[in-house]
Structure 1
């Protein structure tokens, strides 16, 4: 195992400790009797709607993915849906967002595409998702009454990052060679000490993967489809979180569902424990706190929303692997190998 891999592994585990410590800090004054009492308010009539919304989200996500893959439009839609589901199942069972590695690996079992090309599409997907989520946050935050200072300051910073990110994405799309040279030069300038060579090489790989993924978008039509589908994907996820509010009897404005979607997405973006444990709850508590929901109800909400997703994704992913003749341990092993040494995946 290389020194760079060891440092990466140490930083990932340190991240988990920080996340769980922050969650413990947030929950230190929670009245657990009130949490148990709030579960009695769950309206089971909404559960089928939530299950449908989870399934719909995966269909939209898979449809978008075909436009981010080289030759994706000719691929079987079932393969894209199955790989997406199996990948997210891996993230629920393994730490460090392993599904983002397992998903392209699983797709290579069924379609004629290299792992590197499929993985590059995930890099582009994450960048586009970040731009859309930050854009939605910038708009939604303006409508929150008595918003805390941290939200306004954070929104402005993230909005600026989104604008810079969008400009860089367009530059990379239309002037890939120039962007590659400029990007490498900036990385060398800012990360010149020898002991940062591991980070420098990791950023080179990330940038190359991003550029390779952008090559799959070969026309303005494809780019337009990807952006519109991305917006639909995240607004549909906001509907899921809004229905979760109704499930617990919380009659809040649609703005609440949007903010839960945004803050959960930002919270789980960082690698963490299996199933986004900790980061998911932190995102829910932060979002619902903006609307005066106490921690006890916020925690109950987070548990219901999290359990519904896990109960849909894990069994579906396991069934897909079984039906397709793949074994869970093979996808787990591939994800771990790719995480420890991305260059050899």
Structure 2
């Protein structure tokens, strides 16, 4: 039953991606979209893919710094291959790549999953903060242009929430009450729980998770960590901006437009659907509409950029999957040999 629910969940998310892709292209001239894609200048796309590779290397090094601060000795390439396998998994299994890359790292390097997962959580929190900062910058620079866009996304939802305020407050009150009851019961039975094997395992897992989350506090070279964070997002920005050069319709867009596409496109990639498919395309197309780019040209841009990055992840992630499979289990075997000696 559990497997059926999992299959149903991913099938539903895939269907959602399909519906959003249909929404992005409905009522448009498919032959025009095809013409834009065929006539694109792929030289610039090649440059963006090269920059993307550098970005992956940088992100892997940043993750290795977090693991080192968590007192985990692991080689750079094992970290890189685990990360790329995770990105590959995200194309098929939304948001499962983070868990899968930690599992791969445990098999290849013996790093506890709870520790590596804690570092991944820290990484995601930092990325969310950067994305929030970028959103603020975009709205300050292009407030007039994007006010209508933001309003169209949230006004209807705000009116709906306001109309049901009493119901929402009641639900929130019940949730808070249940939280207090749960906390009281937990404290009252804490001594008994400490004797429970499952509870002990959960506590150990949480401690390892927190060790990974706060690894950045123990990092020796925080400035280098910040450099790689900045470099990664600079690469993301250049990828979107230089991709404007692929199409005559977007060639004249300025750097502020590139920042807007980066920001809203990142929200699309963060959505819990396979590889951001559908959500990314709708948000990028809508963002380019604000700058006067037609729907056909906007969706062609999104398809080319997203398609190129997906193929790159499939290629690099596939290679990393093979390499990780070859090295899987070696740390455990080495530990057994050292014990027998």
* TM-fit CA distance, 1:56: 0.8
Between Structure 1 and Structure 2, how many residues are aligned? 287
- Which residues in structure 2 correspond to 1:2-21 (within 5 Å)? 14-21=12-19
**Could you say which residue in structure 2 is the equivalent of 1:277?**
277
CA contact (8 A) 1:263 1:287 kept: yes
RCO greater where, 1 or 2, for CA within 8 Å and sep 6 or more? 2
CA contact (8 A) 1:88 1:99 kept: yes
**Could you say which residue in structure 1 is the equivalent of 2:262?**
261
Q: Secondary structure at the match of 1:293?
A: coil
CA distance in 2 between counterparts of 1:191 and 1:223 reads 41
Cα 1:73–1:211 shift into 2, 3 Å: closer
**Could you say which residue in structure 2 is the equivalent of 1:310?**
310
**Could you say which residue in structure 2 is the equivalent of 1:105?**
103
CA distance in 2 between counterparts of 1:230 and 1:113 reads 23
Deviation per residue, 1:178-207 (Å, 9 max, x gap): xxxxxxx97963897xxxxxxxxxxx9998
Deviation per residue, 1:223-268 (Å, 9 max, x gap): 5544443233112101001111112232211122222221121122
CA distance in 2 between counterparts of 1:301 and 1:41 reads 12
CA-based RMSD: 3.6
CA contact (8 A) 1:67 1:73 kept: no
Cα 1:307–1:136 shift into 2, 3 Å: same
CA distance in 1 between counterparts of 2:208 and 2:10 reads 21
**1:118 and 2:116 equivalent?**
yes
**Could you say which residue in structure 2 is the equivalent of 1:289?**
289
**Could you say which residue in structure 2 is the equivalent of 1:47?**
45
Q: Which runs of 5+ in 1 are unaligned?
A: 156-184, 193-203, 331-345
CA distance in 2 between counterparts of 1:324 and 1:262 reads 33
CA distance in 2 between counterparts of 1:302 and 1:223 reads 35
**Could you say which residue in structure 2 is the equivalent of 1:141?**
139
Q: Which runs of 5+ in 2 are unaligned?
A: 155-174, 183-202, 330-341
Q: Secondary structure at the match of 2:245?
A: helix
**Could you say which residue in structure 1 is the equivalent of 2:338?**
none
**Could you say which residue in structure 2 is the equivalent of 1:252?**
253
Deviation per residue, 1:270-298 (Å, 9 max, x gap): 2113x322122123212212211111111
CA contact (8 A) 2:82 2:101 kept: yes
Cα 1:191–1:41 shift into 2, 3 Å: farther
Cα 1:190–1:261 shift into 2, 3 Å: farther
CA contact (8 A) 1:132 1:230 kept: no
Larger Rg: 1 or 2? 2
Deviation per residue, 1:89-145 (Å, 9 max, x gap): 2222x1323322221112222223111211122111111101101101101222125
Q: Secondary structure at the match of 1:252?
A: coil
| Equivalent position to 1:189, from 172, 176, 179 | 179
**Could you say which residue in structure 1 is the equivalent of 2:60?**
62
Cα 1:68–1:153 shift into 2, 3 Å: farther
CA distance in 2 between counterparts of 1:205 and 1:186 reads 27
Q: Secondary structure at the match of 2:131?
A: helix
CA contact (8 A) 1:95 1:271 kept: no
CA distance in 2 between counterparts of 1:255 and 1:187 reads 47
Cα 1:244–1:320 shift into 2, 3 Å: same
- Which residues in structure 2 correspond to 1:204-243 (within 5 Å)? 211-219=210-218, 223-243=222-242
CA distance in 1 between counterparts of 2:304 and 2:64 reads 31
Q: Secondary structure at the match of 2:291?
A: coil
Deviation per residue, 1:299-330 (Å, 9 max, x gap): 111111112112222122222232344499x9
CA contact (8 A) 1:89 1:99 kept: yes
The more displaced of 116-125 and 205-214 is 205-214
The more displaced of 208-217 and 261-270 is 208-217
* TM-fit CA distance, 1:38: 1.0
